[in-house]
Amino acid sequence: MSIMREFLRRPRLTGAVAPSSATLAQAMTAGLDLEHADVVVELGSGTGAITEEIRRRLAPGTRLVAVELNPVFAHRLADRYRDSTVEVVHGSAEKLSALVPHPVNAVVSGLPWTVMPHERQRRILDAVTGVLSTGGRFSTFAYIHAAWTPPARRFAAELATRFSTVERSRVVWPNLPPAYVHRAFTPIHRPLPTPTRTIQNRSTP
C-alpha cells in the first residue's frame, strides 16, 4: 500500500508520508500491558505497520479492532486480515462507542492530530475516554518537527485534562520523520451532560 500516494490524495485523512517504523511501533505498544488485555482498539491503522506489533503482543483470544477512515486503507487491511483475529472497521474515531465493543483496555492511535481542527481533537479524545475501562491506557505519536505548533500543544493540553497520568517518550529517531510517543493512563471519565428541562410557570386558578 502506498502511503505517500494516499497522503497526496487525502492529506487530512492520512497525515503521514511514510509508514511507521518498527522502532516507533515498539515504542507505541510498550507499557500498555497489551499482553493481559481483552479488547484493544487501534485508530488510524493505515498500512498496518503498528497493527502487526500490537498483534505480536496480544494473548490468544484478545479482540483487536482496527478503525480506519481512509477507504483505500480500510479495504486493503480488511483483505489482509480476512482470516485473522483483527476486526477492520471503516469509520470515524469520533463514533468510537458505536463502532467497537467496550470497555476497551487500550487504545493505540496513529491519527494525524496536528492537521485536525481543535474541536475534532476534543471529540475524538472524548470518544476514546468514553470507551476505555477504568484502568485503560492510551498511546499515540507526534512528529518532532510539529511539537511546538499550536495544534500539537493543544492536543497535549487536552490529554492532560482527560487522563490521570501522561508521559512523553524519548525521540524515536529511526522513523520518517522522527517522532515521540504520548502515553496516557487511567482516563478521567466525565459524566454525560444532564438534559436541560424547561420549567413552565403555571398560574394558580
The tens digit of pLDDT for each residue in 37-73 reads 999 999 999 888 899 999 999 999 999 999 999 888 8
Whether 115 contacts 146, CB under 8 Å: no
- pLDDT at 202 exceeding the cut of 50: no
Percent with pLDDT over 90 in the chain = 68
User: How much is the pTM?
Assistant: 0.85
Whether 66 contacts 111, CB under 8 Å: no
Cell 481542527 identifies what position?
117
- The pLDDT value recorded for residue 53 is 96
pLDDT per position as a tens digit, 167-193: 999 999 998 889 999 999 999 976 544
Q: Give residue 146's pLDDT band: very low, low, confident or very high (50, 70, 90).
A: confident
The C-alpha cell that represents 96 in the structure block: 468510537
User: Strand 63-68 to strand 163-168: parallel, antiparallel, or no bridges (unpaired)?
Assistant: unpaired
